[in-house]
Amino acid sequence: MFYPQIIWIFWINGRRALKGVYDDTAWAESSFDVLKTLENIGLRIEITGMEHIHEADGPVVFVGNHMSTLETLVLPCIVQPVKTTTFVVKKSLVDMPVFGPVMRSREPILVGRTNPREDLKTVIEQGTEKIRNGKSIIIFPQSTRSIIFNPTDFNSLGIKLAVRSGVPVIPIAIKTDAWGVGKLFKDFGPIDLNKKAYLSFGAPIHIRGRGAEEHKAVIRFIRDNLEKWKEGDVA
């Protein structure tokens, strides 16, 4: 019964978004409904480091690895009550029949994931403008979701945006492979209750120079947490 509940949550809120009555508070509330639904079916979710979201004054760039649909749906209820935020997402996401209207209402930064130079220009230009207007940005620098964290696939787009905007980066380490990949529909995979989901926020990182060392620090934070969590799943 998990996916019918999730579809219902976003069908209701998608209609609100189409009517123009789906605001920041409603986004956080519907995201919390997803979190509660996951917990109600028995998925254990550990969230740590939330205090770091409060440490930086003003907007920030959140940079995390991307494993599954879970973080896209759950992060808003954690971040949005503290910092007004939006995502960098693939253009196809806003065209989805159920989730699309909700995401469009958040005015995300849309990228194609096929032309890195064009995506860089889009993220820098639009991201800088949104940050100037007080909005934080959540970005997953990997080209696609993966349960394997490969630093060579983790580009420095988030760091570049932070450098251009003059704001700190908050790293997010994510282990959400409990939400599997579907065979027919990628977002509708099995939920493995033998696994535990983890989300951890790091301390704000202030960028100096071009950000090469800070990019390494983000990668190190994610890699170290993933290594620590390896033993967290139960048979």
Q: What is the pLDDT of residue 233?
A: 56
Q: What is the pLDDT of residue 234?
A: 46
Buried-exposed string 33-68: b where 16+ CB fall within 10 A, e elsewhere: bbbebbeeeebeeeeebeebbeebeebbbbbbbbbb
Q: Give the burial class of 30: count Cβ atoms within 10 A of its Cβ; 0-12 exposed, 13-18 middle, 19 or more buried.
A: buried
Beta bridge partners of 130: none
Is-contact 76 104, C-beta < 8 A? no
Closest CA to 156 of 61, 67, 69, 71: 61
Q: What is the pLDDT of residue 232?
A: 58
Angle at 103 between CA 179 and CA 20, to 5 degrees: 140
Q: In angstroms, rounded to a whole number, what is the distance separating the alpha carbons of residues 131 and 142?
A: 21
Q: For the beta carbon of residue 209, count every other beta carbon within 10 angstroms.
A: 8
Phi, psi for 18 (deg, rounded to 5) = -65, -30
Is-contact 61 128, C-beta < 8 A? no
Q: What is the pLDDT of residue 231?
A: 66
Which domains, from first to last, does the chain contain?
2-229 (3.40.1130)
Phi, psi for 220 (deg, rounded to 5) = -65, -40
pLDDT, tens digit only, all 235 positions of the chain:
899 999 999 999 999 999 999 999 999 999 999 999 999 999 999 999 999 999 999 999 999 999 999 999 999 999 999 999 999 999 888 988 888 999 999 999 999 877 888 999 999 999 999 999 999 999 999 878 889 999 999 999 999 999 999 999 999 999 999 999 877 777 788 999 999 999 999 999 999 999 999 999 999 999 999 999 986 554 3
Q: What is the DSSP letter of 59?
A: -
Mapped to the 3 state alphabet, what secondary structure does 168-199 carry?
CEEEEEEECCCECCCCCCCCCCCECCCCEEEE
pTM above 0.85, yes or no: yes
Phi, psi for 169 (deg, rounded to 5) = -110, 140
